[in-house]
A and B are shown apart, each in its own frame.
Chain A
């Protein structure tokens, strides 16, 4: 369904020295620098899968999506989506894909959503019967029946995202690209959107590529995770494997009855303290758990503690701070 090999994209960035003299200099002579946004990216995504593209800001996720949808032409490499080369921008290809960008809207701001839908109906040549059915079905699922006649600029962010999603699904696309669909939404709105995407995917078996900063999106929706850092693919596998990247570590939280000033005992376990040093979160390897816990209980004024599996956010954060962990893991799994 989606295949890419050696995909690369470079951008020219213009450089300017700070200050007024820098501005004057650049008026006459501009300097440019090449930035490699995506480096030699390979991936194979079969039909019907939901894949999460994760990574920090500037990692290259959105650039990848843009290359997959034909918005941006790759600098080099091969990419094929449902048998088409996106850069050729074949009309039949464009009828089968959909794109939603969390930070930009395709709906007309000063019109009710329904008017934008009717325009989309023309674009995608959807018959009146199909259109009526789709609008009814999707507005029911998303619970937006009453919002379709309201001007888009009067909708809340969460409502806008729902109608935005609806607009991209009217033509029953085979591949859906969601670029940060839950960004800026409150927790309930995020949950609603996730639930909808899950239900929709189960009913329609389309392929979905999702980019997000929120692990909750990926955990809820994706069976597979592709982690990108500085334009390169650093991990490609299932979520369980990713969450075990740091070994089978446990997240242990200790509460103390007073401020603890001597942290030497806890330093080896990547401690995260609260503001007044009465609570700490540690990452303790499974094999050292018993010994470390006993040590801490004996030497520090613990009132309470609990143990849980390391949350994926922590894994993500640690991996972003120490990308070599991914290398180590890959070498270990090869041995």
Chain B
């Protein structure tokens, strides 16, 4: 347990040494994206609190995007880059030798980021909700907690996805392209730009069979009190996480065989 705590502290130190990078790479993009979306939707609604688009009023839409921002801030991982580098430069060997596996290292990485990102998300939430309270719905504690719970699992999902992309470095020199493709696709299809209930019917129906809605839309709606039952939603998300991690395990095993076989 102690070594886990030590590793988490080291991760925090690393994050803070490159402090500006941390702000620009982790926090900045989410805040700017939020700002752009809010501006766009305010403009679409023409600042009119009475207008309805689908079943969204301006206040509904602004609240929706407030929560997408919070969900993003808490759940996003950026760990594929380091794993990718570790594989490319042959540093995975050191993890195989040390009494602390690569998996354990990545998980402590995840936990250390989660804590920091939670703090930052709550801080941003506090500022926005107190300053612009007239635009946003009131927060209902039980819904918020349910959504937060889901969001933490979304974090595990993102982490696993990034881990999978990083592992593909065993075969592909540069995996950042895959990370960008994943980000672009998920951003649209998870309802991050436009809520999924404004999508055409046929698209929304197909998406129900994918993990995408659970990445943003479902947790956000849960916080807003319109997300249906908590347990089925959690079960679905956990199902997709299990599938993803199963793939991760397969890829890791295959990759390790290639790695040690080639004496990289």
Residues of chain A at the chain B interface (Cβ within 8 Å): 16, 20, 23-24, 26-27
Contacts and interface: CB of A to CB of B under 8 A. Distances in A.
A328 to B, nearest CB: 45
B19 A20 contact: no
A48 B19 CA distance: 50
12 contacts: A16-B17, A20-B9, A20-B12, A20-B13, A23-B12, A23-B13, A23-B16, A23-B17, A24-B16, A26-B17, A27-B16, A27-B19
A26 B13 CA distance: 11
Contacts of A16: 17
Contacts of A24: 16
Contacts of B16: 23-24, 27
B188 to A, nearest CB: 34
A26 B19 CA distance: 10
Q: Chain B interface: which size bin? A: under 10
By secondary structure, the B interface counts as: helix
A297 B17 CA distance: 62
Interface string B20-49: 000000000000000000000000000000
Which 5 residue pairs of A and B lie closest in terms of their CB atoms, listed nearest first? A23-B13, A23-B16, A27-B19, A27-B16, A20-B9
Interface of B: 9, 12-13, 16-17, 19
Nearest to B9: A20
By secondary structure, the A interface counts as: helix
A101 to B, nearest CB: 21
Nearest to A22: B13
Contacts of B19: 27
Nearest to B14: A23
A144 to B, nearest CB: 27
A112 B138 CA distance: 64
Residue of A16, A20, A23, A24 ringed by the most chain B CB atoms within 10 A:
A23
Given A20-B12, A23-B16, A27-B16, 9 more contacts: A16-B17, A20-B9, A20-B13, A23-B12, A23-B13, A23-B17, A24-B16, A26-B17, A27-B19
A45 to B, nearest CB: 40
A281 to B, nearest CB: 38
Nearest to A28: B19
Contacts of A23: 12-13, 16-17
B237 to A, nearest CB: 33
A20 B12 CA distance: 8
Nearest to A110: B173
A299 to B, nearest CB: 51
A16 B17 CA distance: 9
A20 B16 CA distance: 9
